[in-house]
Amino acid sequence: MINNLNLSYLKPDLRSLSLFRIILGFSILYNLYIKSFYCIEFWGADPIIPIPVFQTLNGVNSFSIFDIFRNDNFAYFYFAASYFFTLLFTLGIKTRITTIICCFLFWNLLQASSTFTFGFDYYTFHLLFFACFLPLDSHFSVKIFKDQKAINEPRLIFSILIFYQIAWIYLASAFAKYGESWINGYAVQNMLLDKWATTDLGKLLSNQHWYYMPATYLTLILECSLVFLIFIPFKFSYLRFIASLILFVFHLNIGLTYNVGNFSISGFAATALLLPAAFWDRLKVHKTALQKTDLTKNVYLRRIGLYFSIFVLFVITVKNLNFCSRNNFLKDSAIANSMTSLIEFVNIPSPIRVSFFNQHWKMFAPNPPVKSGWLALEVQKKDGLTYDFFNNQLITEEPKINWSPKGLEFYLLHYCRNFDNPNGNNVKYKLFLKYWIKFVLKKHKYPMAEIDNLIFSDYIYITAKRPHKNKIIFNLYSASEIINQEFEKSSITKSFSFD
């Protein structure tokens, strides 16, 4: 039915699909690398956060294979298997099988730690999930096994699904960016003033008016226009090429200036997917002969695929409209409230926490954080001076970053800053700190008898004030104060309820 509509221009080129596969594979490999820093600490037999507490945080919708197998050897094996099958996927070896296996393995990792799953995890998972329904190995692939079968063209409905998902990711994010910093053109500067999260280039550009103001407004223009550039038909798909080009520049800019996991690499994968056939023809990359789709073959499977796709389109639409109605400048108006009520009426609750049901794309919206800073563990020694716990650097009157965490630990502690923040969503990070300090003391064999000498320092500076003044203040807490925090189970589960 849908194939009879004049929507064939929405089918991605097979060469673009193959490049998409390669870049997405590298993105997943990097994501696994980030997580591997905490392989045992999150997925092993004795994680940083005790298993019963972890399960309470995740909720009943976060079941995974780690509920059955929980030991260190299995965690190591699981990561090794994930690397192996992701490598096969990236090389284009039997992608019909390896794509599904990669998706299953990646999904289980996210499910088992869903409370501490980040936006770049969800973005990557969504692309990988929809990739399961597309032919990915027609080009740039390693042919170990002889396969004489002709390549089937991409199914139109699944092509629409992945483009539709990509368009909503950016459009919903744009609708949520209604804050003062985006309107007045300094949101990108606020992001780049975060010394703990930005690269050296980001720090250099943070005070360059010629850079951060255009970048702020161009971000909004890109996110709003991408849906039109993707879906409006135009001769030789020039609009899709423009969409690909500006999306590439957008993610290159983010990747060079801000540490945000594998978000930019996944963005490059989406960029590759948008490349039209004319791009490859100009490069003289040969086409692969396609097998004409036999509509009479596997009729029931095709019908199931169609019904499932329509259901997914409905869920994505409702979830994103729900997000937009709750996160825009009209969110407290009668119109927005009426829209929210209507959407809630047709809304379908998510049976699984990590799935296409999750459509929460709040990327630095409505404003980037107004507070930035960094964390430190410091210890007072017998000489009366204070030193950094990790590298023994002397703490001076001039505040400076003496230690930065790596891998998954960085992204977890990134949200643990501003410890005095009373917001409910911050509870899970306060709870993480409680167990993280215990983990650090055990790892470094620090005597508990001397814990009163250990200080948790929360360095803070305000980025939202205009003109910006980089005055740094710090809040000091005893390590025992953090460790002895108490959390009621009801407050924990309430903080992390989700739709």
In the listed set 330, 346, 362, which residue is the last one of a domain according to the structure? 346
State the Rg of the chain over Cα: 24
Instruction: Tell me which residue has tokens 């329509």.
Output: 310
Domain membership of residue 51 (yes or no) is yes
Beta strands, E only, 381-470: 386-388, 454-462
For residues 318 and 422, membership in a common domain is answered with no
| pLDDT confidence of residue 499 | 40
What distance in Å separates the CA atoms of residue 475 and residue 245, rounded to the nearest whole number? 45
User: Which residues are CB-neighbours of 465 under 8 A, at least 6 positions away?
Assistant: none
The predicted pLDDT at position 424 comes to 52
- CA distances (Å), origin 196, targets 51, 365, 498: 30, 19, 29
Domain boundary among 313, 346, 379: 346
Asked if 23 and 268 touch (Cβ cutoff 8 Å), the reply is yes
Based on the domain organization, do 276 and 174 belong to the same domain? yes
- Judge whether 227 lies within some domain: yes
Give the residue carrying structure tokens 């639409």: 317
273-294 pLDDT, tens digit per residue, is 999 988 998 888 887 766 555 5
Please list the rounded mean pLDDT of every run of 10 residues in the chain (499 residues): 65 93 98 96 94 90 93 96 97 94 97 94 97 90 65 85 95 92 93 93 92 94 93 81 94 95 96 92 79 64 90 95 84 75 86 93 89 92 91 89 93 88 73 93 89 92 75 88 78 50
Q: Do 414 and 327 fall within a single domain?
A: no
pLDDT in tens, 416-468: 988 877 665 578 888 999 999 999 999 999 988 888 899 999 999 988 777 66
User: Is residue 496 helix, strand or coil?
Assistant: coil
Range of the domain at 491: 371-495
Give yes or no: residues 318 and 462 share one domain. Answer: no
Residue 186 maps to a domain: yes
Q: Let me know whether 342 and 474 are in one domain.
A: no
Structural domain includes residue 122: yes
Cβ 155 vs Cβ 133: under 8 Å: yes
Tokens representing residue 52 in the block: 């019963």
Say whether 327 sits in a helix, a strand or coil: coil
Contact predicate 478/454, CB 8 Å: yes
Is residue 292 domain-shared with residue 421, that is, in the same domain? no
Q: Are residues 338 and 422 in the same domain?
A: no
Q: Which of 286, 222, 266 is nearest to 13 (CA)?
A: 286
Is residue 497 classed as helix, strand or coil in its secondary structure? coil
Residue whose C-alpha is closest to residue 211's, from 231, 195, 188: 188
* CB-based burial, 405-420: b 16+ in 10 Å, e otherwise: beebbbbbbbbbbbbe
| CA angle 471–473–476, rounded 5-degree value | 170
pLDDT at 1: 47
Per the structure block, which two tokens stand in for 496?
């992390």
Whether 366 maps to a domain, the answer reads: no
Same domain, 336 and 427: no
**Nearest-CA neighbor of 40 among 355, 407, 374?**
407
- For residues 330 and 475, membership in a common domain is answered with no
pTM equals 0.92
Asked whether residue 449 is assigned to any structural domain, the reply reads yes
**Within-domain flag for 365:** no
Q: Are residues 277 and 401 in the same domain?
A: no
Total number of domains constituting the chain = 2
Same domain membership, residue 153 and residue 62? yes
d(CA 415, CA 431): 12
Alpha-carbon distance 70 to 77, whole Å? Answer: 12
pLDDT of the residue at 462: 87
Name the 3-class secondary structure at 287.
coil
**Element of type H or E holding 291:** strand 290-291
* Together in a domain, 312 and 452: no
Q: Is the dihedral of CA 436, 440, 445, 447 positive or negative?
A: negative
Cα–Cα distance measured from residue 237 to residue 33, given in angstroms and rounded to the nearest whole number: 36
In a domain, 35, yes or no: yes
From 346, 361, 385, give the residue that closes a domain: 346
